[in-house]
Copies of this chain bind each other. A is one copy, B any other.
């Protein structure tokens, strides 16, 4: 269903991108304040903002907060018009597709969920296009041009290729091109943890922070690091692998070939394996282990504490090396964070070096829809940012 797009966000220069991003993430904000925060002149801000106002992406508020008529004064705040464009975000897991539609501020307006019955590329592409069709109903469809897709694994955003996805069993799949053909939308593909970090950087804990890290804990343990406004991507395509920081010399073997990695101790699978060992019950499930640990089962509580300890050690490694302003720890594994949090904080406090301990540590569960919202944030970002460091 390709179609010709009406006048869209007129990003024609770095100054335009900077001004729009500032209003998007920190607005409403006056031209004077935009100039102060970006280092641009007031005249340059006015010039950059005008096409956005004309295309309906920005509006000028009267000083009291109402919309102002006329050409505007430097002190009148600029604000985003969040409904000017909608964005679709889809997270692909091994089991299902989660889709959302958001506005320009990444607020969710609609969502849907499809189970995946197979991992064949053609099947996934068709199922994803169906999901997009379902979630983009009514007037949402009229103003949606961009689709962000998040997949775990090795994803090349610039070429739109899934280089390797262990959960899907894919190698070198040109997913962005296939989805553009199937949906008619402009597609941006991103690694799922990096997508979540974009949402956090632009619309969450990362707003106003010079540097931060997002750590996800669950089936896998990963992180995304933002330094100087850009995502650290790694010269060889690998970065943020906190799950493979070796914290326990001689510890349990990891699927990566190393030993004592955080993931080998604190992933969902590692916790279940260890819980079965300490109880001697080979059929014990994660849910059982959580219930009994919450009920006071000491050996099981210690399994969770050991996982929290390993996460705390990994966080200390990350913070001592990077010194981010704050770290968000999230992920489906954190749904049981009552069993982890105390030990994570205790270990981090002991091992953080000097003033690195002042790094803010936010530990919170991650609703599954957040992954899809992250994908939508990548689609929003793709309007303004070509590449990151």
Contact = CB atoms under 8 A, between A and B. Distances in A.
A317 to B, nearest CB: 4
Interface in A293-339: 309-310, 313, 316-326
Contacts of A28: none
Nearest to A258: B351
A183 interface: no
Interface of A: 154, 209-211, 223, 225, 227-228, 230, 232-242, 244-251, 256-261, 309-310, 313, 316-326, 350-351, 353-356, 358-359, 389
Contacts of A223: 321
Contacts of A313: 246, 249
A356 B238 contact: yes
A317 B211 contact: no
Contacts of A233: 323
A211 B227 contact: no
Contacts of A238: 319-320, 323, 353-356
28 contacts: A154-B354, A211-B234, A225-B321, A225-B322, A227-B228, A228-B230, A228-B389, A232-B323, A233-B323, A234-B356, A235-B325, A236-B358, A237-B354, A237-B355, A238-B319, A238-B320, A238-B353, A238-B355, A239-B321, A241-B353, A242-B320, A245-B321, A249-B309, A258-B316, A259-B350, A259-B351, A261-B351, A322-B322
B320 A245 contact: yes
A195 to B, nearest CB: 18
Contacts of A354: 154, 237-238, 241, 256
Contact of A234 (B225, B249, B261, B323): B323
A258 to B, nearest CB: 4
